[in-house]
Amino acid sequence: MGSFIVRRLIWTIVTIWAILTVTYFIAFLVPADPARLIAGQHASAATLAAIRHHLGLDKPLWWRYLAYFNQFVHGNLGYDFIMRRTVSGMVLQAAPYTLYLAVVAVFFEILIGIPVGIISAVKRYSFIDNFLRFMTILGISMPTYWVGSLLLVLVAFKLGVLPLGGVSPAGAILPGLAVGITGSAFYARILRSATLDVMRMDYVRTARAKGIPNWGVLMKHTVRNALIPVVTYFGLDFGTLLGGLIVTETIFNWTGLGFLLNTAIGNADGSLIMGITLFSASSIVIMNLLVDIAYAFLDPRVSYS
Amino acid sequence: MALRVREITLADASAERNRTPLQLFMRRFLRNRLAVLGVVLVLFMVAVALFARQLAPMNPHISFPDGTTAQGLPLPPTWNWHHFFLGTDSSGRDEMSQLLYGTQVSMEVGFMATLITLVIGVFIGMISGFLGGFWDNVLMRFTDIVLAFPQLLFIILLRSVIPNPTVATVYIVIGVLGWAGVARIARGQTLAARKMEYVDAARSLGSRNLRIVFMHIFPNIMSPVIVYATLLVANNIIFESALSFLGIGVPDPTVSWGKMINLGLSWYQTDPWLIVWPGVAIAIATLGFNLLGDGLNDAFNPRAGE
Amino acid sequence: MANTGWKRWSLLASGALTAAVALSGCGSSTPATSSAQQVLHFSFSSNIETLDPTEWTDVSSMYPMQEIYDTLVEYNQTNSGLHPGLATWTASSDGKTYTFTLKKGIKFSNGDPVTAQDVIYSLNRVTRGDANSSGAAPYGFAYSDIVGYNAWFNKGNPPPAGMSGMSGLTSPAPGVVQIQLTTPQAFFLNELALMSAAIVDPKVVQEYGQNYQLHAVGTGPYMLKSWNQGHQMILVANPHSWRGSPKVQKVIIDENVNPDLALLRYQQGTYDFLWGPLPSEVYAKIISSPTLKKQYSNVPENGVVYLAFNTTKAPFNNVYMRQAVNYAINKQLLIKDITNGRAVMQTQPLPPGIPGYDSSITNPYPYNQALAKSLLQKAGYNGQPITFIYPSNTTDHIRTAEMIQTDLKAIGLNVSIQGTSQIGNYWPTEANPKGNWNIAWTDWFQDYPDAQDFLENLLGNEANNATNVGNYYDKTFQTLIDTADALPASQQAQRVTLFKQAEQIAVKQAAWAFLYTEWNDALIQPWVQPQGTHSDLMLYLHPVKTPQFEYMTVKSH
């Protein structure tokens, strides 16, 4: 077990290093001139040269890469000359908002997924099963940002019951629900199979045969059965979840990582785009590590070799 | 927003011996009404994409002087096919015609990106599964790293740094970053196929390695890959729309559903149809592919639905 | 400037120009105490970029900076004229020496007294990029006519010991600053009224170094209380202000609030102000609501939106080609669809509010496709590809580019449009002196209300003039504006005559494709009212200044 965790840890570090390297070369091998961006239109060639020197852009690429790497190891993502703040400062300021939204989103995914999955299984092959399956597939077929904008119009604007955007505890409900609607399909699928497995168990069959569908027993066993696949799926899905949030945040004026990324894209702000990508990707990799470890504890059958 | 990894296994054709696998497959597939609906939607979208120019009642690029009100505001739907059927955008351009043209971009990006993903993924997966040992290890570690990359983020990063993009830029960027999932499936299937008797037989008859791979293993790994690919098309359509929504998708003045939503979003208080139409179009297109993929999966693998 | 235009160019912040700015009085945050303490609460759709004068380039930063800092010279609220700020001045008869006498007893908001050395320090600082964290001094060029600028600017980083600044800045007596120029400059005082020339406290700058902007201190009516960057900035009345205590004691600025949301908060009464230019969708709601309509007002900006032609290479080194594009664009439709009619057609390089604007030029290039086509033939255009570049950071820019492309294709120009968020990459460089483009969407908002700011900056051929993006050059034009620039401010009438002559040339030669001058507009809640002698709230839609909170009062509501 210990060696399993150590190996997973090393592998996580290697992956983060790979992500850093790829991100760096994508973001900085482009023919953009940050100096021009910073100095603006009036700048003379001498000013530009001075800024390039100030930024270290006149140094060789490998030197800059190592410098960035060194910064990263020290938890520093560099200084953003467009926003005039440190990248780490901005990312760390925005990240809790996104994390909060992610928790709300997963809550909705599961809240929708569990009843849909269980009802689908109990009423297998019935109209309602087909209908629910159709609805969940329809859910994944809609862009999250579009569902978000519809909710904004219908719920917040027309009905006026929830905030129209902006960061507040209740403000997370609509963007979270948008992600929940578009992401619940697979939780429903997992719950459906888990429930079907439970229903095949002898005592449950007996109970059903006697005409006493014991919902309590069903729920208990189903949830226990579904726990491992749900945790696994959560790990796999975390990156997707974050991707969905990133596009949705802008619509709700939710100033998390996605909002920040959108600003960065508009400004062609390479260092900020890179910082956000690196931070999010690393979080995803670390989340996967945690899920793997949790998985190992939850399921004693997993071999750690 | 991204393809959810699904369990895909080979169809167990031995269960019903008295029919050919194709017959069984068709029977199971056609019994699934949702899958049939999927086929209908996909064919519909492909047809619209092919004939968009002929179908479009107006030129989607032209800002008509009567396409906005006197204050330059968008028109609501007129329900007159030849005159702003679904209304106009804030530039006085016909929404219906834009929707039809948008189908072309969505289908092109959806299919081409998937094709690129499949070619890379199947190639790497098969090589990995076939060679085994050291190379398998190297390739799969590499695949693991790529799989750990959040795809949408890297698409955004890559796309936002490419100057002067074309539609091809968009599908290449989406396509080249998505292969890891396909590679995993292809490798798994190759490993399974390698153990089968006919491969040993082919080997003992002196077939060269590459020939074995392509002639014998390739057809056997196709069914799960097809399922995955169908779902991938849906996914790529959504990716494209998300990129265009963020303003880093297909280049202007190409019409794209995501771009239409982006243009219409800020009008939600006065002209909500500007985001309704393109969103519905995206949902119909992706729904078709998702239902089809789901149906194929169930048909290839009868137990997957449970 | 500091302007929407520059901003759109530099793309430092997407959407800052459409920053629908909202001010609010005692909104939900201070319902009960509104009679005791008046609060203004406004929002930006983007970030406030900086509070450091050396880094200043944009309008959104100007709102708080104008409140925190003072300059030696200030613009009048009522028109574009100048009046003393921190100092009164006299100019020598040759226009090359200015002597400023600081008003007595002025203190920074931390209690430090303002000295002549502080003024000299501030002006020296703004010309050097190493004074701040970004390494750039975007407005340092504005002071390049001060004696000793080149020596100071070109010194190493950091400057060698014993070198403390420009030799043209001296203090002959306590509280007196003398500025010597290499040439007379009619517009020099205007440049001293820019936010880049704000007077900072050297002690604070030295104490906080790179983090200065989070601790900015000035002499203005307000001072920085807190700034959670990207979210909210709070200003409170400066107890040491030499102007006395303002009615509005506290100003809250929300950052990153999109315009639709800001409008709804305005309608709920949370915000009392929405400051423009208001985006189309917000305007659509205003004209459909009688209540909002009453609270709406607008004025033309001192700015221009135009297309620059790359005159360094074919085909737009040919005047017929440039004229053809001018005739081909349906400007009326553009004004209707992009600005909802909130613009006036541009007829010449200067906007109507700038002295030198020639009202006898009415519509030099009316929409005429047939004429445009014949001009193309006359120019011998052979279908070669034309690249049209534009900043793709807002949907309005994208729509504009698409509409113009349609118009140009209609006369047979083979135009492709390229949106970019890195438009700087297209400008000529040493390696690629001609640039990879033919037409560029451009706009400009004045730095100060003088024709020189438009004609010299945008069409003049001074060395390294990066704002003349298309490298337009005409010998007669250049001579005219050079002559006008060298005249002292006292000969304004003659300068205006020269500028008008120069304008005629630029119009005849179709130096740009002229598009329009936008209006600035605002929504103001009825309970926000002018204070003292400032009787008209529309004064705050000032062509030069942003709204000034010290001239407002918030009635209880």
Q: Is the dihedral of CA A223, A224, A228, A229 positive or negative?
A: negative
In a domain, B106, yes or no: yes
CB of C421 within 8 Å of a chain A CB? The answer is: yes
Q: Minimal Cα distance from A264: which residue of B?
A: B160
Amino acid identity of residue A70, one-letter, is N
Q: Which residues of C touch A254 (CB under 8 A)?
A: none
Is B253's CB within 8 Å of C402's CB?
yes
Is B161's CB within 8 Å of A32's CB?
yes
Which value does ipTM take for this structure?
Answer: 0.83
Element (H, E) at A85: strand A85-86
Q: Which residues of A touch C136 (CB under 8 A)?
A: 38-40, 43, 47, 51, 81
Q: How far is A109 from chain C (nearest CA, A)?
A: 27
In a domain, B85, yes or no: no
Q: Minimal Cα distance from C7: which residue of A?
A: A40
Distance CA B201, CA C146 (A): 90
Residue B112, pLDDT > 90, answer: yes
* pLDDT value of position B13: 39
CB of C12 within 8 Å of a chain A CB? The answer is: yes
**Which of C258, C280, C398 is closest, CB to CB, to B252?**
C398
C partners (3+ CB pairs within 8 A) are: A, B
More confident residue, B44 or C75: B44
* pLDDT value of position A202: 66
**Which of C260, C403, C418 is closest, CB to CB, to B91?**
C403
Concatenating the DSSP letter of every residue in A51-63 gives: HHHHHTTTS-HHH
The answer to whether C406 and C437 are in contact (CB under 8 A) is: no
In a domain, B275, yes or no: yes
Average pLDDT of the segment spanning B165-182: 88
Is A40's CB within 8 Å of C6's CB?
yes
CB of A182 within 8 Å of a chain B CB? The answer is: yes
Give C259's Cβ-side CA count (13 Å radius): 27
Mean pLDDT, all residues of chain B: 83
Q: Chain A to chain C, count of Cβ pairs less than 8 Å apart?
A: 127
Is C157's CB within 8 Å of A50's CB?
yes
Contact residues for B282 (Cβ-Cβ < 8 A; gap 6+)? A141, A142, A143, A146, B106, B237, B238, B241, B257, B258
Q: How far is C10 from chain A (nearest CA, A)?
A: 5
Is B72's CB within 8 Å of C336's CB?
yes
**Which of A32, A84, A259 is closest, CB to CB, to C55?**
A84
How do residues A259-279 score in pLDDT, each as one tens digit? 998 888 877 778 888 888 888
Count structural domains, chain B: 1
* pLDDT value of position B289: 93
Is A138's CB within 8 Å of B283's CB?
yes
Residue B10, pLDDT > 50, answer: no
Is A43's CB within 8 Å of C138's CB?
yes
Is C424's CB within 8 Å of A266's CB?
no
Return left, alpha or beta for A43; rule: phi > 0 is left, psi -120 to 50 is alpha, else beta: beta
In a domain, B87, yes or no: no
Distance CA B225, CA B122 (A): 8
Which residues 377-396 in chain C show a CB within 8 A of chain B?
Answer: 392-393, 395
Lowest mean pLDDT among B65-74, B203-212, C406-415, C535-544: C535-544
Segments forming the whole domain that contains residue B245? 42-54+93-300
Distance CA A154, CA C552 (A): 38
Tracing tokens 């007893």 back to the chain, one arrives at C105
Is C337's CB within 8 Å of B68's CB?
yes
Residue B135 belongs to domain with CATH number:
1.10.3720.10
Q: Minimal Cα distance from C259: which residue of B?
A: B266
Q: Which residues of A touch B282 (CB under 8 A)?
A: 141-143, 146
The answer to whether C249 and C38 are in contact (CB under 8 A) is: yes
Q: Which domains does chain A show, CATH number per domain?
A: 2-86 (no CATH), 89-298 (1.10.3720.10)
Residue C96 tokens read as 């090359």
In a domain, B190, yes or no: yes
Residues of chain A short of pLDDT 50, as ranges, are 304-305
Q: How far is A149 from chain C (nearest CA, A)?
A: 13
Return left, alpha or beta for C100; rule: phi > 0 is left, psi -120 to 50 is alpha, else beta: beta
* pLDDT value of position B236: 92
Is B4's CB within 8 Å of A18's CB?
no
B partners (3+ CB pairs within 8 A) are: A, C
CA nearest to A21, candidates A57, A59, A58, A72: A72
**Which of C141, C154, C422 is closest, CB to CB, to A32?**
C422
In a domain, B1, yes or no: no
* pLDDT value of position C127: 85
Distance CA B276, CA B89 (A): 12
Is C341's CB within 8 Å of B71's CB?
yes
Burial (CB count <10 Å: 0-12, 13-18, 19+), residue A6: exposed
Is B161's CB within 8 Å of A140's CB?
no
Confidence of residue B192 (pLDDT cuts 50, 70, 90): confident
Residue C69 tokens read as 């800092």
* pLDDT value of position B198: 66
Residues in chain A: 305
Measure CA A136 to chain center.
20
Q: Minimal Cα distance from A32: which residue of C?
A: C425
Q: Which residues of C touch B252 (CB under 8 A)?
A: 392, 398, 401-402, 417, 419
In a domain, B26, yes or no: no
Q: Which residues of C touch A50 (CB under 8 A)?
A: 129-130, 135, 157
Q: Which domains does chain C show, CATH number per domain?
A: 47-253+527-554 (3.40.190.10), 303-519 (3.10.105.10)
* pLDDT value of position C372: 95
**Which of C50, C264, C466 is closest, CB to CB, to A43?**
C466
CB of A81 within 8 Å of a chain B CB? The answer is: no
CB of C260 within 8 Å of a chain B CB? The answer is: yes
* pLDDT value of position A301: 56
Which residues of A touch chain C, with CB atoms under 8 Å apart?
31-33, 36-47, 50-51, 53-55, 79, 81-85, 89-90, 93-94, 157, 164-166, 253, 255, 259-260, 263, 265-268
Confidence of residue B14 (pLDDT cuts 50, 70, 90): very low
Residue C193 tokens read as 């009224």
Is B269's CB within 8 Å of C285's CB?
yes
Q: Minimal Cα distance from C394: which residue of B?
A: B247
Is C260's CB within 8 Å of B266's CB?
yes
In a domain, B8, yes or no: no
Q: Which residues of C touch A165 (CB under 8 A)?
A: 258, 261
Contact residues for B228 (Cβ-Cβ < 8 A; gap 6+)? B3, B6, B8, B181, B182, B185, B293
Phi and psi torsions of A131, nearest 5°: -65, -45
How many H helices and E strands in chain A?
13, 2
Q: In what order do the strands lie in the sheet with C87-91?
A: C87-91, C97-102, C176-180, C169-170
Interface test with C, best of B93, B170, B262, B270 (most C CBs within 10 A): B270
Q: How far is A300 from chain B (nearest CA, A)?
A: 22
Distance CA B168, CA B159 (A): 11
Which residues 27-66 in chain C show a CB within 8 A of chain A?
Answer: 46-47, 49-50, 55, 57
Is B279's CB within 8 Å of A149's CB?
yes
Provide the 10 A C-beta neighbour count for residue A16: 18
Largest CA-CA distance found in chain A, in angstroms, rounded: 89
Residues of chain C short of pLDDT 50, as ranges, are 1-34, 534-539, 543
* pLDDT value of position B213: 63
> Rounded to two decimals, what is the model's pTM?
0.85
* pLDDT value of position B3: 45
Q: How far is C266 from chain B (nearest CA, A)?
A: 14
Confidence of residue B43 (pLDDT cuts 50, 70, 90): very high
Radius of gyration from C-alpha coordinates of chain A = 24
Is B71's CB within 8 Å of C284's CB?
yes
Q: Which residues of B touch A146 (CB under 8 A)?
A: 261, 275, 279, 282-283
Residue B69 tokens read as 């009100």
